[in-house]
Homo-oligomer: A and B are copies of this chain.
């Protein structure tokens, strides 16, 4: 799967630097500001929900950028929009970049949008640097990554890659009981009207590179402009219930209590200790914790809490799950606990050949990078099943995302776009 990536033997340092130099910061900044108006909120954020009017207007805007690139726009049955730049050998599978245009209801300007616009700017830079790719190049915007209007998200990439069926996905409904299918049909009719042709799903790809904001604090802390993403963490969700016995807070001696809060607190502490690794790679969170009956002077008889645990390594995640299961089988403050698995997603490792190519290209461009693992999900999780896939992250202020205050610096965005453009050149030569 990885050996056919090595088309990079004849690259020269000078080409790549010329390509990077052709990335235009003002044009990228202007595009970010333009796109942020489709669904712009008065607080500076963006509300561009999947397949709403703003999302459709953003797609039309994207389609209009094709002519400058000499690219052909098309849309598939789940609404993914592609701009295809021809290569010298049109029969080869394309190298693809992109992300998503939809946002959270109180989202920011960069989550998803940056990856689409950085891809657009990278393609323009390649053209302006006079680079003619051997392979075709494509820019893609995947439908409904966020899952904020229609849940679950990553609909476009999942259907494209055959992970979910188009029919099932069309039947998702929003809070007004509108189906994804009917919203999609409105959007597709508008693109049809604009003369955008249809394209098939599941077309082959040589590689997929997605640029995204980190949505975490590591790059900012380490003052590194671009992260090379090695993979996406696996995640397991559990629900834990702890059952004790309700009693009067004033009259029940400690020796006769079965305090569900005390038990749950002790179990939560033991789980946290079990998840504590010296490398700080385990992500362990108890985010929900509900105590019943919740009266000041009644000893609680029930606690229900959530566990969200993540790790890039499947075996480590599995071992943690086993430890948690064992801990929940013990009695805590003489209370009984039960642990129920709610969800599990296996970790994804991006191929070394691809992440090494990103490292090497960054080295050529003298852009500082660091390796990291994605803590959030992305369309790349499905693409990784379809073709060699990797991601680039740029820092976001305070690690904040899904919030109107989401913020990146233009210089980081430019560095990421330069690395993306040069890497696409390396992959398509």
Q: A residues near B, CB below 8 A?
A: 214-218, 221, 233, 235, 237, 247-256, 259, 261-262, 265-266, 268-269, 272, 276, 280, 282-291, 293-300, 306, 308, 310, 374-377, 399, 401-402
Most chain B CB within a 10 A radius of its CB, from A214, A237, A251, A294 = A251
A272 to B264, CA, bound (A): 13
Nearest B residue (CB) for A239: B296
Q: Chain copies in the assembly? A: 2
Q: Contacts A280-B255, A375-B252 hold; do A294 and B285 have CB atoms under 8 A apart?
A: no
The 7 closest A-B pairs by CB, nearest first: A216-B251, A250-B375, A251-B375, A249-B285, A296-B306, A289-B291, A249-B308
- For A233, the closest partner residue in chain B by CB is B250
Contact of A251 among B215, B288, B296 (CB under 8 A): B215
**Known A247-B399, A262-B272: A217·B253 in contact at CB below 8 Å:** yes
Q: Are A289 and B268 in contact (CB under 8 A)?
A: no
**Is the CB–CB distance between A217 and B308 below 8 Å?**
no
Contacts of A287 in B (CB 8 A): 249, 261, 291, 293-300
Q: Are A294 and B288 in contact (CB under 8 A)?
A: yes
List 30 A-B residue pairs with CB atoms under 8 Å apart, sorted by A's residue number.
A216-B248, A217-B253, A218-B256, A233-B250, A249-B283, A249-B285, A249-B308, A251-B283, A252-B283, A252-B375, A253-B280, A253-B283, A254-B276, A254-B283, A261-B286, A261-B289, A265-B265, A265-B268, A265-B269, A269-B269, A285-B297, A287-B293, A287-B294, A287-B298, A287-B300, A288-B291, A288-B294, A289-B291, A290-B291, A296-B306
Least CB distance from A58 to B in Å reads: 24
B289 touches A252 (CB 8 A): no
CA distance A343 to B251 in the complex (A): 18
Instruction: Name the residue of chain B whose CB is nearest to the CB of A245.
Output: B398
Which residues on B sit within 8 Å (CB–CB) of A306?
296
CB distance from A42 to the nearest CB of B (A): 22
Q: A399: which of B233, B256, B268 is its contact (CB, 8 Å)?
A: B256
| Most chain B beta-carbon contacts within 10 A, residue among A215, A217, A259, A280 | A217
> B280, B285, B297: which contacts A259 (Cβ < 8 A)?
B285
Residue of B nearest to A277 (CB): B254
